[in-house]
Amino acid sequence: MTDTISIAGHAIGRSHRPFIIAEMSGNHNQSLDRALAIVDAAAKSGAHALKLQTYTADTMTLDLATDEFVIEDPNSLWAGRALHNLYQEAYTPWEWHAPIFERARAHGMIPFSTPFDATAVDFLEGLGVPCYKIASFENTDLPLIRKVAATGKPMIVSTGMASAGEIDEAVRTARAAGCKQLVLLKCTSTYPASPSDTNLLTIPHMRALFDCEVGLSDHTFGIGASVASVALGATVIEKHFTLARADGGVDSTFSMEPEEMAALVVETERAWLALGQVQYELTEKERKSLTFRRSLYVSEDLAAGDVLSEKNLRIIRPGLGLPPKYFDTLIGKRVGRAVRRGTPMSWDLLSSADEAASAKQGTARSARG
């Protein structure tokens, strides 16, 4: 695996800032003006990419309102809705894609989409998308994966609901069909998702198992899970995005608002910067703080020949005196001259005999660490 992949000139990998995707989904509420406003807000929030979903109700399912074609889970956001009806409300009209993409590009964002069938792939190819996303519910649709991979463009694949074996099938299919740049997204396919079900520790394991970049498709509330994922190696973060949850919409409940997206961009980058490298040495900036470490100071006025004791020698800040590890060595030694209160302790303050003996002890102690 290469350390970096590229989407429309944007580098993605652990040596680069997390790639943040704002997912519009159905939050446009069937208004093109609102869709364009979402693009504007996502760009202002700092998201790097704007993603759509490309389907129609008829390419998704059958127009039936019976049995398995109706969402019966009482805990679902869409309980009681017929699938065809739900997708009819949520889909993005295909004639909107071009103006939405144009607006995103004008902001310097990378626009792309999730195709849900072969016709959507052909359509998106005509719009020149730079990459593709495969949704969790389609990650076992190997013919679709093969079709997308054959374009030769980078693929981002969500892994919700998929077993390791199913992910392996998807990855092998994509690579065999021509995909050279692949990102897997750890995903929990519940809406919203609970942090306790998110299992971010899968991210580094998935990266090692499938030898590719790994990110997070995050359906939890807030930014905590996304920020934590960066510490575990996530290089791509996808979040649903809307102008305001109060405006409603099929996915609004678990979508981010602009100020939250802005915080996500800032905090994931901050987490990435904080990772740094394994380092025990002082940084140049930290070196200045050495002055404020504790060290040994004379805490009372002393005359020549006075004996150092726990009363007149203290471990205090700042750090200009001898290190605290020499405290026991110095107790009982005599100073060779008058010393004022507040003087940092040093070997040359001792009487000649004590200075030589203590310095020798100090050298031996330093050698032992």
Mean pLDDT by 10 residues, the chain (369 residues): 88 98 96 98 99 97 92 83 90 98 99 99 99 98 99 98 98 99 97 96 98 98 98 98 94 95 99 96 91 97 98 98 98 97 98 71 56
Numbers of helices and strands, H then E, in the chain: 13, 12
Q: What is the pLDDT of residue 21?
A: 99
Distance (Å, whole) CA 93 – CA 53: 10
Sign for the pseudo-dihedral over CA of 264, 265, 270, 271: positive
Q: Which of 176, 189, 111 lies closest to 145, judged by CA? A: 176
Asked if 192 contacts 217 with a C-beta cutoff of 8 angstroms, the reply is: no
- For each of the domains in the chain, give its residue range(s) and CATH number, in order of start: 5-55+91-275 (3.20.20.70), 284-363 (3.90.1210.10)
Q: What is the pLDDT of residue 74?
A: 86
Name residues whose C-beta falls within 8 Å of residue 143's C-beta, 6 or more positions apart in sequence.
118
| Structural tokens at position 8 | 């429309």
SS3 282: coil
Cα angle 295, 300, 302 (rounded to 5 degrees) comes to 110
The half-sphere exposure of 322 on its side-chain side, counting CA atoms within 13 A, is: 22
Residue 281 CB neighbour total at 10 angstroms: 6
How far from 358 is each of 321, 351, 352, CA to CA, in Å? 15, 10, 10
Name residues whose C-beta falls within 8 Å of residue 284's C-beta, 6 or more positions apart in sequence.
none
Q: What is the pLDDT of residue 362?
A: 60
Distance (Å, whole) CA 193 – CA 222: 11
